[in-house]
Amino acid sequence: MKNHLKELRAERGWSQNALGEILGVSRQSVNAIETGRYDPSLPLAFKIARVFDLKIEDIFSDDEGEG
Amino acid sequence: MDDDQTERRGFLSFLIQIIRPTRADCWSLWSIFAAVIPTFVIGLGSSLTEQAVERGFEGAVPLAGWLGVHPALVIGVFVLTILAILGGYGWLYTGWYRRLDELERMIEFKALGTGMIVSVILWVISVSLTTWFPLMEPFVDTLIGAPLLVVWCASYMIARACFRRYHDA
C-alpha cells in the first residue's frame, strides 16, 4: 500500500514524533507507515484521515489499483 | 535525532536496539520480567526433575515412561503450557499491553513467539541429545538449566530488535 503521509506531514511542518503524539502512536509507527513497512489498522487510518481532514483514499492507495 | 534521518545500521546501533525500550516509561521493566520469569521457571523445573531422577524418583513422572521420553521433557511441556496460558492472559490484559501502539504490539507478538520457538527447539534438541547420546549428558545438563534463561532472553530481545529495525529503517 502506498501513502502520502510523509508529504502531508511535511506540508504542516510536523515531525514524526509530533504526528505520533497527535495520533497516539510511537514515532516508529509513523516512520513504518510512511516507509510502507507497516499498514495501519482501519481505526488508525481513519484517525490519520481525520487529522489531515482528508478521506482515507486521499492518503492511502492500493498498489494494484494504481496500475 | 532528526526524525527523517536514516538510522545508522552499524553493529553498535544494532546492539543498542536489542536493549532499547520503545516506551521506556511503561514497559521496559515488564519486558525483562516477561523474558526472564518463564525461562527461569522452566529451567528450574527441568533442573529439579533432573535431580529427582538422579535420586531415583523416575516413577514421579510416569507419563515420561509411557511416552519413552526424558522426564524433563514432560515436566517442561506441562510448565510451558501453564505458563503460556497464564502469561498470555496476563500479557494481554495488563496496562502495559494496552499502552503499546499497534505496531509495537505486533512486534512484541512476533518477538515473544520467536523467542519461545527458538528456546523450545533448543530445549527439545538438548533433551533428545541426553536421551539418545548418554555421553552428552554432562554437557546437556548445563544447557537445560540456567543457560536456557539466557537463550530465551537473547532470542526474544534479538528478535524484537530485528523486527524494530526492520520497521524503523
pLDDT, tens digit (0-9, with 9 covering 90-100), for B154-163: 787 788 888 8
**Which residues on adjacent β-strands are paired with residue A60?**
A3
B167 and A32 within 8 Å at the Cβ level: the answer is: yes
A24 and B101 within 8 Å at the Cβ level: the answer is: yes
Residue B8 CA, chain-centre distance (Å), reads 28
Asked if residue B61 belongs to a domain, the reply is yes
Asked if residue B12 belongs to a domain, the reply is no
Asked if residue B19 belongs to a domain, the reply is no
Distance, CA of B4 to CA of B13 (rounded, Å): 17
B103 and A38 within 8 Å at the Cβ level: the answer is: yes
Domains of chain A: 2-54 (1.10.260.40)
Asked if residue B10 belongs to a domain, the reply is no
Q: What is the pLDDT of residues A10-59, one digit of tens each?
A: 999 999 999 999 999 989 899 999 999 999 999 999 999 999 999 999 99
Q: How many separate domains does chain B show?
A: 1
Asked if residue B50 belongs to a domain, the reply is yes
- Residue ranges in chain B assigned as alpha helix (H): 11-19, 28-54, 62-67, 71-93, 95-98, 102-132, 137-144, 146-167
Q: Which residues of B touch A40 (CB under 8 A)?
A: 102
Cell of B88: 498470555
Q: Which residues of B touch A27 (CB under 8 A)?
A: 3
B102 and A40 within 8 Å at the Cβ level: the answer is: yes
Asked if residue B8 belongs to a domain, the reply is no
- CA-based nearest residue in chain B for residue A23: B101
Asked if residue B18 belongs to a domain, the reply is no
Asked if residue B129 belongs to a domain, the reply is yes
Q: What is the pLDDT of residues B14-69, one digit of tens each?
A: 666 666 655 544 444 555 555 556 556 666 666 666 666 666 655 556 666 666 66
**Boundaries of domain holding B109:** 27-167
Whole-prediction pTM: 0.61
* Residue contacts between A and B (CB atoms, under 8 Å): 40
